[in-house]
Structure 1
Amino acid sequence: MAIVRPFRGIRPAGALADKMISLPYDVMNREEAAKMAEGNPYSFLHICRSEIDLPEVENPYTEEVYAKAKSNIENYLKDGILLRDEEPFLYIYKQVMDGRAQTGIVGCVSIDEYLNNTIKKHEFTRVEKEIDRINHFDRCNTNTEPVFLTYRDDKRLRTIIEGWMSSHAPEYDFVTEDGIGHTLWVISDRSLVDALTTLFGETEALYIADGHHRSASAVKVGQKRRNEHPDYTGEEEFNFFMAVIFPDSDLKIFDYNRVVKDLNGLSEEDFLNKISDKFEVLPVAEGPYRPEGKHIFGMYLKDQWYKLSAKSEIICEEDVIQCLDVSILQDHLLDPVLGIKDPRTDKRIDFVGGIRGLKELERRVSLDMTVAFALHPVSIADLLAVSDKDMVMPPKSTWFEPKLGSGLFMHEL
């Protein structure tokens, strides 16, 4: 089963929602966050990146930064910029990007189901990255930003959601500067809330699409609160964390491409000869070249695009990890030919989200890199298959767009 339950959202006053919304905290650095929030006292970046309000503080992970986030929340509530719903609700959150919509339920999910793997993962997390959000959530007494979850589409859930959307006016409905549409409905009918939670209860599993570190941090805050309150019943809000839960059929994974600084001491001719052992290499007359299917790659080298097709002997369809294109490229080219053993730590490789386009690969090669590789996107089916086997995707495998907006809802612990 999957527990999804309503919560009393802390949300911006309606007229301020389009001013408060921001990108997630982890997609920009401090300087970028400060520039994004410049001249906007309502920006959610004053909460999720509160170090921008403390320019004299060099370390963004100090207690002073977390205390500032908490005080900003309190001040927004006092001034009516943020409002606290009087009773628990589920919410519908719809995003539209380039004409494609993804519509999810905003609710709370169980830390126990994260721990027992009913909420399935596909990435490792790093403790040092978790600590920041642990301190942030704990000090703010709030899950300030949601986790991005998915589930196998269920027509019964979709019918209820679409029915509410078609018969009720949204609380927020606006388009941000990046062209993304954001619409939020509050499901105030208790019988429909109960119907949705019952149907989610029949779902075998939920899957983390994006936000593994936020999930892990929220769970560890819940465990910390349990240790502080040994008489807890399991119903306290700290036993749950906030998520937006989308059906898998709504989601799109973009390619996550690679650029490499050098050819590992090889000449261009030697490099092309070496990769020809495992890949069919075909120059492309006109670029940029976007791979049209699995096990096909684009490569940009010396102002020339190539089509690389993995030879059959290196494709292991029986292994859900080894047959991923990110694994094929790593195991049969980046490691043995270019000497990149660990793409997590090797400074010679960088990663470019597909939302930036293939021209960005050309730009990087002209600027500071030597060769670029364009990949076919991982499918949602691949992600679910890996998660179902309790396995982990290779690093930098998935890039989801649009990103969840931050600041439209918070969950008080």
Structure 2
Amino acid sequence: MAIVKPFKAVRPSRDKAALVSSKSYEIYTPEMLHSKLAFNPFTFLHVINPGYKYHKQDVSGDLRFKLVHNRYLEFKEDKIFKQDKSPAFYIYKKTTATNSFCGIITATSVEDYHKNVIKKHEGTLKERELLFENYLKNTGFNAEPVLLTYPDNDVIKTIIEKYKKQRPEYEFSTTDKDLHLLWVVDQKEDIEQIIEAFKKIDTLYIADGHHRSTSSCLLAQNLAKENENHTGNEDYNFFMSYLLPESQLSIYEFNRFIKDLNGFTADEFLIELDTFFRIEKRGQELYKPKEKHHFCMYLNGDFYALYLRKSIYKFTDSLSKLDAEILYQTVLKPILGIEDIRNASKILYSQNKTDSLELKTKVDTGDYKVSFGMLPTTIKELKGIVDAGLMMPPKTTYIEPKLRSALTIYEF
């Protein structure tokens, strides 16, 4: 049974929504960030980059978090942000050149996370958990929802379709040509139907935002200890999420780029690969896998097709069938000596959504010796691994939609 709760979102006024909302802070290059801050006084980037006001870009730690809180208060004082008077759900639709996504922004339960009703597919780093927990505690808000997915549900779909026929609260396009629409669900009957529909859903899966969800749970534990009158209903016992039907989730793969061959020559490396793979040289033909357990490799100016020898490699569980895990167990670890696949000094990951020639171009520059590509993970594979209590390797999935910050803000 999944618990969802409406909340009183703090959000931009209708006339400023397009100017206020931003992409995730980490996406912007320093040049892009400076341009946004210099020419848009309403962008939420001013809140999360508070040092700009004082011409200081190196503000960090607790001081930065406190200044974020102050800039946030200023946005509220200047009526750039307002808080809804009654709790609501928020239907959000994003349309890109190739896809359309439509789901519901809600408050989801920390208790569900602990009970494994909300399941994760990636591990988290303790250092990042603590950093974001400290950020949340100092600022008092979260402006970017965790992306959760759930099995398609007719009741929820009917309510969403009902609101999509109405005029949206927000309707704007961004410079990347994406269209953004948001509707406010504040009718009691619709809210109750949504709550009851999610109560009948056994599991929600985290698609994106593992550190944000884990940090929210950590914050809730700490605030509960500090609160002598803790009831479990306080706002800190929930975190903001965007719930999207499984059928609308888009999953892309990550390419892998390796900096050296661990002492092997190219010919010796190919011989090492022969144990687990049937190898076909494709020359300058760009090979893209069409089946699971097939891999693309670019080495020494040529593309190769690698086909897993299933008579040699044994499947033991759902994780062992995952292509990213197969590549790690047969190539990255035993041949290339990469024990820690988070080690940025040896391996680079890059999502394969936009540049199909990247496998070649990055190696041809001389920065990397070999690259690997594979098919994207399916939602069925993801759920199978999670339901078995296993974790996927890092950088296995690049999942869309990527959500904007500050369309709705959750305070606690």
TM-score by length of 2: 0.95
Deviates more, 1:127-136 or 1:246-255: 127-136
Q: CA shift at 1:352, angstroms?
A: 0.5
Q: Is the 8 A contact 1:180 1:402 kept in 2?
A: no
Q: CA shift at 1:259, angstroms?
A: 0.2
Q: CA shift at 1:243, angstroms?
A: 0.3
Q: Match for residue 331 of structure 2?
A: 333
Pairing 1:48–2:48 present? yes
For the residues of structure 1 that align with 2:353 and 2:35, how far apart are their CA atoms? 22
Query: Relative to structure 1, is the Cα distance of residues 34 and 212 closer, same or farther in structure 2, using a 3 angstrom cutoff?
Result: farther
Q: Match for residue 390 of structure 1?
A: 389
For the residues of structure 1 that align with 2:3 and 2:223, how far apart are their CA atoms? 20
Residue 95 of structure 2 aligns to a residue in which SS? Answer: strand
Pairing 1:354–2:352 present? yes
Deviates more, 1:29-38 or 1:180-189: 29-38
Q: Match for residue 402 of structure 1?
A: 401
Which amino acid in the other structure matches residue 241 of structure 1?
Answer: F
Counterpart selection for 1:274 from 269, 272, 275: 272
For the residues of structure 2 that align with 1:29 and 1:215, how far apart are their CA atoms? 25
Which amino acid in the other structure matches residue 155 of structure 1?
Answer: D
Q: Is the 8 A contact 2:249 2:401 kept in 1?
A: no
Q: CA shift at 1:346, angstroms?
A: 5.3
Pairing 1:76–2:75 present? yes
Q: Match for residue 148 of structure 1?
A: 147
Query: Relative to structure 1, is the Cα distance of residues 159 and 316 closer, same or farther in structure 2, using a 3 angstrom cutoff?
Result: farther
For the residues of structure 2 that align with 1:122 and 1:110, how far apart are their CA atoms? 18
Pairing 1:108–2:107 present? yes
Pairing 1:303–2:301 present? yes
Q: Is the 8 A contact 2:284 2:301 kept in 1?
A: no
Which amino acid in the other structure matches residue 312 of structure 1?
Answer: K
Q: Match for residue 374 of structure 1?
A: 373
For the residues of structure 2 that align with 1:180 and 1:100, how far apart are their CA atoms? 10
Q: CA shift at 1:356, angstroms?
A: 3.7
* 1:228-239 mapped onto 2 (5 Å cutoff): 228-239=226-237
Q: CA shift at 1:277, angstroms?
A: 1.6
* 1:14-413 mapped onto 2 (5 Å cutoff): 14-28=14-28, 33-53=33-53, 55-56=55-56, 58=58, 60=60, 62-166=61-165, 168-345=166-343, 347-367=345-365, 368-413=367-412
Q: CA shift at 1:147, angstroms?
A: 0.6
Q: CA shift at 1:314, angstroms?
A: 4.6
Kindly tell me the number of residue pairs found equivalent between the two proteins: 411
Q: Is the 8 A contact 2:170 2:183 kept in 1?
A: yes
Residue 327 of structure 1 aligns to a residue in which SS? Answer: helix
Q: Is the 8 A contact 2:18 2:172 kept in 1?
A: yes
Which amino acid in the other structure matches residue 75 of structure 1?
Answer: E
For the residues of structure 2 that align with 1:316 and 1:119, how far apart are their CA atoms? 31
Residue 298 of structure 1 aligns to a residue in which SS? Answer: strand
Pairing 1:11–2:5 present? no
Query: Relative to structure 1, is the Cα distance of residues 64 and 362 closer, same or farther in structure 2, using a 3 angstrom cutoff?
Result: same
Which amino acid in the other structure matches residue 6 of structure 1?
Answer: P
Query: Relative to structure 1, is the Cα distance of residues 322 and 123 closer, same or farther in structure 2, using a 3 angstrom cutoff?
Result: same
Q: CA shift at 1:59, angstroms?
A: 5.0
Q: CA shift at 1:318, angstroms?
A: 4.8
Which amino acid in the other structure matches residue 209 of structure 1?
Answer: A
Q: CA shift at 1:30, angstroms?
A: 5.9
Q: CA shift at 1:124, angstroms?
A: 1.0
Query: Relative to structure 1, is the Cα distance of residues 314 and 410 closer, same or farther in structure 2, using a 3 angstrom cutoff?
Result: farther
Q: CA shift at 1:85, angstroms?
A: 0.6
Where does structure 1 lack aligned partners over 5 or more consecutive residues?
Answer: none
Q: CA shift at 1:35, angstroms?
A: 4.4
Q: CA shift at 1:7, angstroms?
A: 0.3
Q: CA shift at 1:46, angstroms?
A: 2.1
For the residues of structure 2 that align with 1:314 and 1:25, how far apart are their CA atoms? 45
For the residues of structure 1 that align with 2:199 and 2:244, how far apart are their CA atoms? 15
For the residues of structure 2 that align with 1:223 and 1:33, how far apart are their CA atoms? 34
Residue 312 of structure 1 aligns to a residue in which SS? Answer: coil
Q: Is the 8 A contact 2:86 2:186 kept in 1?
A: no
Q: CA shift at 1:370, angstroms?
A: 1.2
Q: CA shift at 1:199, angstroms?
A: 0.4
Which amino acid in the other structure matches residue 186 of structure 2?
Answer: S
The percentage of aligned residue pairs carrying the same residue is 35
Which amino acid in the other structure matches residue 128 of structure 1?
Answer: E
Q: Is the 8 A contact 2:143 2:407 kept in 1?
A: no
Where does structure 2 lack aligned partners over 5 or more consecutive residues?
Answer: none
Query: Relative to structure 1, is the Cα distance of residues 55 and 263 closer, same or farther in structure 2, using a 3 angstrom cutoff?
Result: farther
TM-score by length of 1: 0.95
Q: CA shift at 1:139, angstroms?
A: 1.4
Q: CA shift at 1:32, angstroms?
A: 5.3
